[in-house]
Amino acid sequence: MRFCLLLTVLLWSFCLSAKAQVETVELKFETEKEKVLWEAGIELKDPYHLFMAVHADENTSTDSWEKVLNATNKKFEKSGASLKLLRAIFEKSHKYLFKTYEQHSSFNQMLQDGYFDCVSGSATLAMLLDQYGFDFEVIETDYHVFIIAELGGSKVILESTLPIGGLITSPTEVKKYLANYQGDSGDQILSLNQRLGAPAINYSDNTIFRKVDLQQLAGLQYYNDAIAHFNEQSYDMAIDQLAKAYKLYPADRIAGLKDLAIAQKK
């Protein structure tokens, strides 16, 4: 499903020039809890803390996360880093964490209430794959994030937003899935203020298809949150979130949206 663009098409050249204009600024945190989690994530190089930092809540329960870990640890002891474990990771994540798809859902919302999107869902799966030593890549496209795992010389897709059919192992289906997202990198980016969301049937006009690490993915969660504030015309909050997003992931789209938010304030 393609989401309607919320602004007119913005020139890619604007995004490129904006990157050079991002200034070093003091980061502003909503709460002391967010600051503590952020600093722990940076110091310890622990993405889990960074994902929990967005709209950090002292009362967020991690019980559902622990249930997934308990189940996958048992499977790992029996099967190692195998397809069986990969299935367990995917299925247990949907059972205990991925309850309701909702675009622009934070990692904390997922832990607390089961609301998830492609960023929080892929973050969950990626951290679990990393813990058990899988070889994998997190892929960022214009409006979506998904995972490619390597197992026994074959590619496996983990599409977090599809509880049924989201673990794709057939080589033919993997190839077909990837073809939907590998567009023309020479095209102009479509929109800076469109959130990363659900998968599309055909994204042949994609301009972004690249690997990101877990810290960069945490930056995309801040970017998504900034877009929500931008579209509500809360430009100061959007700028604050984009500063943190850029610190984690100095990407053109983040720099471009920050420049646009600053311009909207004038």
pLDDT one-digit tens code per residue, 5-56 = 222 223 233 444 444 444 456 899 999 999 999 999 999 999 999 999 999 9
Task: Give a yes or no: residue 187 inside a domain.
Answer: yes
pTM, to two decimals? 0.85
Task: Give a yes or no: residue 21 inside a domain.
Answer: yes
The number of domains in the chain is 1
Task: Give a yes or no: residue 194 inside a domain.
Answer: yes
**Model pLDDT for residues 86-97, shown as the tens digit of each residue:** 999 999 999 999
Task: Give a yes or no: residue 55 inside a domain.
Answer: no
The closest alpha carbon to 217, from 17, 93, 47, 78, belongs to: 47
Structural domain of 105: 12-31+61-265
Task: Give a yes or no: residue 45 inside a domain.
Answer: no
Task: Give a yes or no: residue 49 inside a domain.
Answer: no
Residue 256 to residues 142, 209, 240, 251, 263, Cα–Cα distance (Å): 14, 18, 14, 9, 11
**Model pLDDT for residues 164-192, shown as the tens digit of each residue:** 999 999 999 999 999 988 765 544 454 55
